Amino acid sequence: MTDRRITVLEASGLSKHYATPAGPVVVLSGIDLRLDAGESVSIVGPSGCGKSTLLHILGALDPPSAGHVALDGTNPYTLDEKGLAAFRNRQVGFMFQDHHLLPQCSVLENVLVPTLVTGSADTDAEDRARALLGHVGLGHRLNHRPAELSGGEKQRVALARALIRQPSLVLCDEPTGNLDHDATNTVADLLLELHRRRGTMLIVVTHNLDLAQRFGRTFQLSHARLNQR
Amino acid sequence: MRRLVCRNLRYYWRTNLAALAGVATAVAVLSGALLVGESVRASLRDLVVRRLGATDVVVASDRFFREDLARAFASVDSTAKTTSCPIIRLEGALARAESSRRSRAVQVYGVDDRFWHFHGIARTGPSGRTALVGRALAEALGIKPGDDLLLRLDTAGWIPRESLFGRRESVGRTIRLTAGEILDADGLGEFTLQSSQQQVLAVFIPLARLQRDLAQSLRINAILVAGSPEPVGAGQVRSVLERQFSLQDVGVTIRPLPARQALAVESARVVLDDSTARAVAESAAELGLVSSGVFSYLANTIRTGSREIPYSVITAADLGQGALTGVRFIEGAAPSVSAVAPDESIWLNEWTRKDLGASPGDPIEVDYYRWQDDGRLTVETARLRLVGVIATDGGADSTLAPEFPGISDARDIRSWDPPFPMDLRRIREIDEDYWHRYRASPKAFVTLAAGQRLWRSRFGQLSSVRLAVPAAGAPVDLRTVSERLASLLRERIDPQSGGLAVVPVRALGFAASAGSTDFGEYFVYFSAFLIAAGILLAGLFFRLGVEQRVREIGTLQAMGFPFAAIRRVFLTEGALLSAAGGILGVIGAIGYGGILILGLRTWWIGAIGTSQMFLYLSAADLAVGAVVGVVASLVSVLWALRGLRHASARELLAGVLEPRLGRQRRARLLRVVAALALLAAVALLAATAAGSVPDVGGFFGAGVLLLASTLSLTAVLLRHPRGRPITTPGWRGLVRLGARYATYRPGRSLLCVALIAFAAFVIVSVEAFRKDAGSVDLSSASGTGGFPLVARSVLPIVHDPNGHAGREGLGIDTSQHPEFARVRFVPFRERPGEEASCLNLYAPQEPRILGAPLSFIRESRFGFQSSLAQTAEEQQNPWLLLGTPQPDDAIPAIGDANTIRYILHRAVGDDITLRGDDGATVRLRLVAALRDSILQSELIIAESAFLRIFPDREGFRFFLLDVPPSEAAGLVGPLEESLADWGVDIERAADRLAAYHQVENTYLSTFQSLGALGLVLGTIGLSAVLLRNVLERRHELALLRAVGYRGDALAVIVIVEHILLMAGGLACGTVSALLAIVPALVARGGSPPVAGAGAMLVVVLLGGVLSSLVAVLAIRRMPLLEAIRSE
């Protein structure tokens, strides 16, 4: 696995609009954002304000209509399909509101899924996965299937999966949206602890203001604009 | 609830449409297959109607009878009308004069205007030498109107050819004709009284012309009878025949002998058959007449010492007794008072005694001819002793001899034209003097018993019965007595045993049109996989629908819906979909049935041999298919719902259909099933090895059990995947991930594997039974019996084809064709009948019978599949069973295993009944079955039994030819040419076997084609499942892309899953099938059916890979963000 670390995330002039029969709908407009290594931010805003869209653009999942994203100086949208896939695999860790675990795979295998397409030997991947699962408190349920886990446990597996490739940037889209209060706290604690330990950049989209306040900076997305609170 | 069902049906329309398509497919295939059966039956029935014209019943004989008799069957009353038509019906060989092409087995009809009128066709003729030619015959020989034709016909008369006075040298006659109009089927160009779907080669020639050429003026051999408006019954015709036939029609004559105040009852056949002789004796007794049997024969030589008399009539009769009391003895006395044993006694007339210079007590030798059953003419000698002398004009005159054709009416002995060799140099002047004075008066006499012992044949043992008015009675008018005797004889003689058979051809044709092969049943078998695929697919899609809505079910349960109510919702939906599928399926059935019938008429014509097949719609068949299909679909809905009862609402809400514990429990159960099936397979193989179970059944059963075992094992693996966690990056990891995907919905995956496995099993196992039409085994234990050539003749051959004289008589010229000397004929007698092989679609009512000579039986040729052999000798040569008497007098018969099983629907040990020449029922017992032989068209009995039940069938018409294999092909043409007068057709045994194999192979091709179609359905189902899986997993797949999986990595995962399922199915099916076909593999020398089946399996695999690309394309087109958003 490469040691190349992205130390800076820079987004400038990002905008996104969708064509609709009623005319274009502007979701994001003139967004600028910069994160340094080890920094964590949260983005809050009402439903449908474009939080997830911004996260997808930053995570190289969805190109912006205008503007520029640079992860350590590299604009992922200039990469070809192969390069883009490799970039996402190596540098970005995702955690979604819906965990998207593979139901036919065990907890351990789910965490290891991103390592299967590395193209090169990742000899200590299994050890890391076990360690990560130990950290998230699921070391005793390695061989369980997702259907046998609670919602919080599934999100913890998803967190471990997001971190297995030791990404520099971790993007979480409403990671606790489906969880109760206790589970939310557990997942948030884990997220922050692992973030601190690994020094990754962390961006969490949430509509939970309490949760948002636990991260270094908090931004409000409203009317397509991003403002720090 | 109704609204919920409607909403569900509309919302899940894609899945529902797929399920509906599955039901429609199953119904279409099942109903369509049944329609084929009905269509074949109806087509055969139509063919019977078209080919018989108006004919309901035919009165037919092998001999000629009065044309006038036909009038007796015509009647009209207020409600019904019966019409009749006299014809001559013969089989012949026809050739164009300017061509060497010849068609044997041509149906020749002598007809006049009455024939067309009888059938309601407005036409006349033919006249002069014009022949109307059926289109099939015209096309076969390229006949055009105006062409000169040469027709070779059998000129069989009353006198049996195999009796001393039968004419062997001129069995046929060639008639020159001119081709007239070519008749289509509608114009009765295919007229035939036999049930066969094969082409009818018919020619119609003027009745009067044919009568003249055959010297049968005003005589015919068949009467067609038809009823209107209802068909006339055989009983009615029989009743008229019994009232109206004359003794002349059955060849019996009563000759008044006024000088003796006696009558002589004789037969046109020269010899009176036993039943007629009995009837005469009984009638005479009723009239108070005294009767005596007389058996006159011809002696080549009567000799004592060095003196001999050539060519003399010798009579066997009990002189001085009964009706022969008027004989005047000069010396000695009647046998009853002779001191010499009756069997050794001979009496000479005075003229003869003087000529021989013999005295009572002198030894007398009598040489006479006898035709042997194998066609050889031998001279035998009776050694007797003179016990008396009879006055030459003392009551033993020429009236004791019947009319010997070519002899009795000859002016002198040198003018005799006998059907046997004569040395005219032996005739002396005094012999001619005797002839001029006494004509055919017997020169010598033996007792009746002695004569019968010497000269009796299967045709009878009397030449006449002499009837005399008792001396004490008042003088009577012989004419009156003759008429009364005739009347009594007509009451006692069954016209049927006299050769006049009443055959209800229409009823028999209709019965036969039920078919030897139930094509409906066959096509249900052939289509079984298609039907199963349709039902499984319907079940699969129902299950997909259920799985798709498993959370919805959980929600409903959470809201308080009892499971029964939920099941009712799904069942109602299923019922509505099944009903709609059933309706669509009925429409599809008509299309499917139509395609199959089209297939039978074209691609698979080898199975039926006719293009006269049409689709007939049967409401019953359509309904049966629809009901079965719909019920099966509903069962599959229940199956789809079966696991839900045990899942909790929480599990269902979590999308879990089969909890892990349930999964493990089921896996354990399946493991037990797999083990038990495997053990059962091993046990069956052991039993087969021990000989307790037949090879074919044992291995096939073991194969099926192995299939069950491997599928159960697959189910276990799908439910309980073992192995290390998937941790290896790269291709291996992706492959393992793909494999893991296959285990997610084990039920679905197992269905796919099972579909493919069944198809592979069918393809491989069926291919193994395909017969190689190209090569043929000519070993004596093979299906050819080691005979490279088979021959059949239109005219019976009564010569010994292996003897010098016989070959000379037949025109087999070994000086011109030295290779003919190396041909050994094995002649079989034949009772013509219906083709009993798979080449005939009609169920044979009276199969063709062959009489096998003893020499052939002892040769122990051909291979046997099964037999009733008890002794080691019989086991070594099951042909010997033909000579083993049956406890209940049934006649042992042997047939080909295919004929016995598939055409006659019997087994070894079963009986078959048919009619003997005397009309009596005869029971044949099947004592052995030949394995895949060239003798599939007939049943074989021993010649001795044949002659007993078919005494009127003369000569040999079927031959196996033992020739050097390398010379076989080159012999066909020259031999056929040499034997053209007998209408001999020679066929290579390989070709004959190939013709049967073509039918079998066509059935197998049909089976495989429909199996492959089922496989296509299975593959489509597999693709649909895969696509469904992809759609269901779109979120997971989107996540994989989000974490860096490229499209090709996802394609690998999907393709691996697909290939694993396909390969699993192919492996389970192929391995099991290979075990099932071990006996067939051994039979074909151990080579598995690699070429045919392998190619098909590879195509299947490629098709599967291609279809998985559909799923890959779907993945590539899948919008990533929408999928991630779970929208």
SS3 of A94-133: the string is EECCCCCCCCCCCHHHHHHHHHHHCCCCCCCHHHHHHHHH
Q: What is the pLDDT of residues B658-671, one digit of tens each?
A: 666 677 778 888 89
B730:A114 CB<8 A? no
Q: What is the pLDDT of residues B1083-1113, one digit of tens each?
A: 655 566 666 677 777 777 777 777 777 777 8
B94 pairs with which residues across the strands? B103, B151
Q: Compare A59 and A179 and report the one with higher pLDDT.
A: A59
Chain B environment of A55 (Cβ under 8 Å): none
Residue showing tokens 């001819």: B369
The pLDDT score that the predictor gives to residue B475 is: 67
**Chain A residues 60-99 within an 8 A CB cutoff of chain B:** 61-62, 81-82, 85-90, 93-94, 96, 98
Backbone angles phi, psi at A80, to 5 degrees: -75, 180
The pLDDT score that the predictor gives to residue B544 is: 76
Q: In chain B, what percentage of residues exceed pLDDT 70?
A: 90
Helix, strand, or coil (residue B516): coil
Inform me whether the pLDDT recorded for B1081 exceeds 80.
Answer: no
A147:B656 CB<8 A? yes
Inform me whether the pLDDT recorded for B802 exceeds 70.
Answer: yes
Banded model confidence at residue B339, pLDDT cuts 50, 70, 90: low
CA angle, A11 as apex, A9 and A17 as ends, to 5°? 140
The pLDDT score that the predictor gives to residue A3 is: 44
Banded model confidence at residue A4, pLDDT cuts 50, 70, 90: very low
The pLDDT score that the predictor gives to residue B1127 is: 40
Backbone angles phi, psi at B583, to 5 degrees: -65, -45
Q: What is the mean pLDDT of residues B596-604?
A: 82
Q: Give the Cβ contact number of residue B307 at 10 Å.
A: 11
Chain-wide mean pLDDT for chain B? 84
Listed residue (B300, B329, B124, B90) closest to B214, CA to CA: B90
Gap between the Cα atoms of B796 and B156, Å rounded: 9
Helix, strand, or coil (residue B831): strand
Q: What is the pLDDT of residues B107-139, one digit of tens each?
A: 999 999 999 999 999 998 799 899 999 998 999
Inform me whether the pLDDT recorded for B1067 exceeds 70.
Answer: yes
Gap between the Cα atoms of B909 and B925, Å rounded: 6
The pLDDT score that the predictor gives to residue B1091 is: 66
B1043:A89 CB<8 A? yes
Q: What is the pLDDT of residues A127-178, one digit of tens each?
A: 999 998 988 889 999 988 888 888 889 888 998 999 888 888 999 988 887 7
Is B266:B334 a contact under the CB 8 Å cutoff?
no
* Encoded tokens for B751: 């269905």
B1044:A62 CB<8 A? no
Gap between the Cα atoms of A174 and A155, Å rounded: 11
* Encoded tokens for B301: 């030589």
The pLDDT score that the predictor gives to residue B655 is: 66
CA angle, B955 as apex, B453 and B133 as ends, to 5°? 150
**Which residue among A116, A145, A147 sits closest to B734, beta carbon to beta carbon?**
A116
Q: Give the Cβ contact number of residue B341 at 10 Å.
A: 13
Listed residue (B526, B531, B528, B527) closest to B25, CA to CA: B531
Does ipTM come in above 0.85? no
The pLDDT score that the predictor gives to residue B1053 is: 86
Identify the closest residue of chain B to A123 by CA–CA distance: B728
**Which residue among A52, A105, A148 sits closest to B740, beta carbon to beta carbon?**
A105
Gap between the Cα atoms of B802 and B688, Å rounded: 46
Listed residue (B280, B121, B14) closest to B1032, CA to CA: B14
Chain-wide mean pLDDT for chain A? 85
The pLDDT score that the predictor gives to residue B723 is: 65
Q: What is the mean pLDDT of residues B487-493?
A: 90
Q: What is the dihedral of CA B626, B632, B637, B638, to 10 degrees?
A: 140
B1035:A118 CB<8 A? no
Size of interface A-B (CB pairs under 8 A): 109
The pLDDT score that the predictor gives to residue B38 is: 82
Identify the closest residue of chain A to B734 by CA–CA distance: A116
Inform me whether the pLDDT recorded for B1028 exceeds 80.
Answer: no
Is B181:B152 a contact under the CB 8 Å cutoff?
no
Inform me whether the pLDDT recorded for B324 exceeds 60.
Answer: yes
Q: Cβ of B720 under 8 Å from any chain A Cβ? A: no
The pLDDT score that the predictor gives to residue B314 is: 93
Using a cut of 0.95, tell me whether the model's pTM lies above it. no
A113:B737 CB<8 A? yes
**Chain A residues 140-159 within an 8 A CB cutoff of chain B:** 142-143, 145, 147-148
Q: Compare A99 and B875 and report the one with higher pLDDT.
A: B875
In angstroms, the separation between the Cα of residue B545 and the nearest Cα of chain A is 19
Q: Cβ of A10 under 8 Å from any chain B Cβ? A: no
Residue showing tokens 């592979």: B760
Q: What is the pLDDT of residues B70-109, one digit of tens each?
A: 999 988 877 888 999 999 999 888 988 887 777 878 999 9
The pLDDT score that the predictor gives to residue A2 is: 41
Q: Cβ of A102 under 8 Å from any chain B Cβ? A: yes
B733:A105 CB<8 A? no
Q: What is the mean pLDDT of residues B685-702?
A: 81
Q: What is the mean pLDDT of residues B1000-1012?
A: 73
Is A48:A71 a contact under the CB 8 Å cutoff?
no
Chain A environment of B1042 (Cβ under 8 Å): 59, 61, 88, 94
In angstroms, the separation between the Cα of residue A153 and the nearest Cα of chain B is 14
Which of B1039, B1053, B1115 best tests the A interface by mutation, with the highest count of A CBs <10 A? Answer: B1039
DSSP class of residue B381 equals: E
Of the listed ranges A75-79, B64-68, B769-773, the one predicted with least confidence: B769-773
Q: Cβ of B1041 under 8 Å from any chain A Cβ? A: yes
Inform me whether the pLDDT recorded for B626 exceeds 80.
Answer: yes
Q: What is the mean pLDDT of residues B863-883?
A: 92
Inform me whether the pLDDT recorded for B315 exceeds 90.
Answer: yes
Identify the closest residue of chain A to B1035 by CA–CA distance: A100
Listed residue (A172, A217, A189) closest to A56, CA to CA: A172
> Which stretches of B161-267 are assigned E, i.e. beta strand?
172-183, 202-206, 219-228, 252-257, 262-267
Q: What secondary structure does DSSP assign to B526-548, as a single string?
A: HTHHHHHHHHHHHHHHHHHHHHH
The pLDDT score that the predictor gives to residue B341 is: 74
Q: Compare B201 and B11 and report the one with higher pLDDT.
A: B201
Instruction: Please name the residues in contact with B12: beta carbons below 8 A apart, sequence gap of 6 or more.
Output: B545, B548, B549
* Encoded tokens for B615: 């689709």
B1121:A119 CB<8 A? no
Chain B environment of A174 (Cβ under 8 Å): none
Q: In chain B, what percentage of residues exceed pLDDT 90?
A: 29
Banded model confidence at residue A1, pLDDT cuts 50, 70, 90: very low
Q: What is the pLDDT of residues B559-573, one digit of tens each?
A: 667 777 788 888 888
Gap between the Cα atoms of B59 and B266, Å rounded: 24
